[in-house]
Amino acid sequence: MNLERTEFLYNFTITPEWQQQIVDKLGATLIDNKILIMPEAIATGGSIFLEVLPGLSVLLMDMTFHIPLAITRIPTKQNYYMAYFDIGDEITTHLLGEVAHKAGYNAKLGLGFMDCCIKGILMPPVGERSYSLRLFIDKDFFVEMAIATRVNAINTSIFDESKNTLFFYSHIDSRSKVMLNNLKCNDFTEPAFELNLKSTALYLLGYLMERTSQFEPIISKLVQKDIDSILRTSEYMLNNLLFEFPGLIKMAGLAEMSVSKYKILFKKILKESPNSFFLNEKLLLAQKLLESGNFNSVNEVAYELGYTKPSYFAAVYKKMFGALPGHTLIKSELRDLC
Is 315 inside a domain boundary? Answer: yes
Is 331 inside a domain boundary? Answer: yes
Is 1 inside a domain boundary? Answer: no
Domain identity same for 192 and 236: no
Domain identity same for 249 and 322: yes
Domain identity same for 79 and 174: yes
Domain identity same for 114 and 199: yes
Domain identity same for 153 and 233: no
Domain identity same for 138 and 243: no
Is 147 inside a domain boundary? Answer: yes
Domain identity same for 190 and 274: no
Is 30 inside a domain boundary? Answer: yes
Domain identity same for 24 and 167: yes
Q: Give the CATH number, domain containing residue 255.
A: 1.10.10.60
Residuewise pLDDT in 10s, the chain (338 residues): 455 778 888 888 899 999 999 999 999 999 999 999 999 999 999 999 999 999 999 999 999 999 998 888 887 777 888 898 888 777 667 666 555 555 544 445 678 787 777 777 888 889 999 999 999 999 888 878 766 665 334 444 444 444 445 566 677 776 788 889 899 999 999 989 999 999 999 999 988 887 766 555 444 456 778 878 888 898 888 888 889 999 999 999 999 999 999 998 888 777 789 999 899 888 988 988 898 888 889 999 999 999 999 999 999 999 988 899 999 898 765 444 44
Rounded to whole angstroms, the Cα distance separating 21 from 191 reads 24
Domain identity same for 18 and 146: yes
Is 294 inside a domain boundary? Answer: yes
- Alpha-carbon Rg of the chain, whole angstroms? 21
93 forms beta bridges with 102, 123
Domain identity same for 146 and 52: yes
Is 47 inside a domain boundary? Answer: yes
Domain carrying residue 316: 224-337
Residue after which a domain boundary falls, among 194, 213, 232: 213
Q: What are phi and psi of 297, to 5 degrees?
A: -155, 160
Residue after which a domain boundary falls, among 149, 183, 213: 213
Burial (CB count <10 Å: 0-12, 13-18, 19+), residue 185:
exposed
Query: Structurally, how many domains does the chain consist of?
Result: 2
Q: Give the CATH number, domain containing residue 22.
A: 2.60.120.10
Domain identity same for 176 and 230: no
- Half-sphere exposure (Cβ direction) of 89: Cα atoms closer than 13 Å: 12
Residue after which a domain boundary falls, among 179, 213, 247: 213
Is 219 inside a domain boundary? Answer: no
168 forms beta bridges with 113
Domain identity same for 158 and 53: yes
